[in-house]
């Protein structure tokens, strides 16, 4: 099967993140043995055009005008592929976070169990994994996938971590406060990018210095002296300070070493503690993220939002750190 993707070169540079998002999808499709390529449409006057079918054979192609919401493009593309491969079908999306060991092999076992009734495409953006599940109607394979990967799933639709977090805060009628050290406002900025964030987001603090942690959040100076600002204890007290002093139902706090300097044998670069909790219970998670300074901070921000989503989905849940690498 040959699938060609045509885009207007005048617009392709104006859409931030398009190449990264779409080429991940193209790679996922190619891995299933489908010949897919990207071409350019010099004659397009309305932005991106996606053509499914041989380039130039417009009478047999499905043409889609791209919008700012790239998830709509993915839905259209996989919907068309599902029709070609399965005929009448359902399309499901599964969003996951973290390192997922042997994901491809585990998905292949599920596909084999249903012998041609389900096809799963997998693509990644950093630590976020998207599954596009195409299956015959009422096929129980979808339930098997959710059971297999439940620990890492954060949404059942094509949505970012921050959007899912805000959605759950709104549904649960909860407010959020955030205290950031190494992430330096990345969590707050990402949340505020969403319209309507003010309905559920109360406060965000960048408590970067030790004195800021003690003065603004009430972290015990003895904790910092005995354990350091990058520790389970400091992260816990940062979150506790938000809950005690702020106007929130759930708190997120981050502290860590973003590098490239400042690490040691006992506390390497990338070491991060993330606290997420409520007035009843605070969990602290330890990770050592890999990459440069920006990658470490981004991974920490995403992990913090993921853990907050998990807490909001089940306030009684006792859960462990997910695997990152």
Indicate the number of domains in the chain: 3
| Same domain flag for 142 and 62 | no
Could you list the residue range(s) of the whole structural domain that residue 306 is in?
161-313
Q: Percent of the chain, pLDDT > 70?
A: 81
Q: Residue 223 domain-assigned?
A: yes
The answer to which of 75-84, 171-180, 191-200 has the lowest mean pLDDT is: 75-84
| pTM beyond 0.85, yes or no | yes
| Same domain flag for 229 and 102 | no
- Rg of the chain over Cα atoms, rounded to whole angstroms, equals 22
Phi-psi region of 287 (alpha: psi -120 to 50; beta: other; left: phi over 0): beta
Average pLDDT value for residue range 159-169: 97
CATH number of the CATH domain containing 131: 3.30.70.2860
Instruction: List % helix, strand, coil for the chain (3-state, nearest 5).
Output: 40, 25, 35
| Same domain flag for 6 and 77 | yes
Q: Residue 253 domain-assigned?
A: yes
Q: Concatenate the DSSP letters of all residues of 207-270 into one string.
A: --SHHHHHHHH---HHHHHHH-SSSHHHHHHHHHHHHHHSS-SEEEEEEE--SSSS--SSS-TT
Task: Give the pLDDT confidence score for residue 52 in this predicted structure.
Answer: 52
Q: Percent of the chain, pLDDT > 90?
A: 67
For the cut 50, the answer to whether the pLDDT of residue 83 exceeds it is yes
Q: Quick: pLDDT tens for 165-178.
A: 999 999 999 999 99
Q: Which residue has the higher pLDDT, 70 or 57?
A: 70
CATH number of the CATH domain containing 9: 3.40.30
| Same domain flag for 174 and 68 | no
């Amino acid at each position: 099967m040959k699938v060609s993707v045509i885009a207007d070169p005048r617009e392709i540079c104006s859409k931030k993140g398009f190449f990264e998002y779409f080429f991940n999808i193209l790679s996922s499709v190619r891995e299933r043995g489908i010949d897919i390529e990207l071409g350019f449409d010099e004659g397009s006057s309305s932005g991106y055009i996606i053509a499914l079918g041989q380039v130039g054979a417009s009478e047999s192609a499905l043409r889609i005008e791209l919008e700012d919401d790239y998830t709509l493009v993915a839905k259209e593309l996989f919907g068309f592929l599902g029709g070609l491969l399965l005929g009448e079908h359902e399309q499901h999306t599964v969003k996951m976070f973290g390192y997922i060991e042997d994901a491809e092999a585990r998905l292949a076992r599920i596909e084999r169990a249903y012998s041609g009734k389900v096809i799963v495409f997998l693509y990644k953006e950093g630590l976020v994994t998207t599954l596009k599940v195409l299956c015959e109607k009422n096929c129980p394979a979808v339930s098997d996938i959710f059971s297999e990967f439940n620990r890492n799933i954060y949404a059942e639709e094509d949505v970012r971590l921050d959007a899912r977090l805000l959605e759950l805060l709104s549904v649960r009628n909860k407010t959020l406060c955030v205290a950031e050290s190494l992430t330096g406002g990345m969590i707050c900025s990402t949340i505020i990018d969403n319209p309507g964030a003010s309905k559920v987001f109360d406060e965000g603090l960048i408590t970067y210095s030790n004195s800021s942690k003690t003065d603004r959040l009430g972290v015990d100076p003895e904790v910092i002296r005995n354990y350091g600002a990058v520790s389970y204890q400091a992260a816990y007290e940062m979150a506790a300070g938000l809950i005690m002093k702020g106007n929130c139902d759930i708190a997120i706090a981050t502290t860590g070493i973003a590098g490239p300097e400042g690490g040691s044998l006992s506390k390497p670069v990338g070491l991060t503690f993330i606290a997420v909790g409520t007035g009843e219970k605070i969990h602290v998670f330890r990770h050592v993220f890999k990459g440069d300074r920006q990658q470490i901070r981004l991974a920490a921000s995403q992990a913090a939002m993921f853990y907050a989503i998990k807490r909001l989905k089940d306030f009684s849940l006792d859960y462990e750190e997910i695997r990152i690498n």
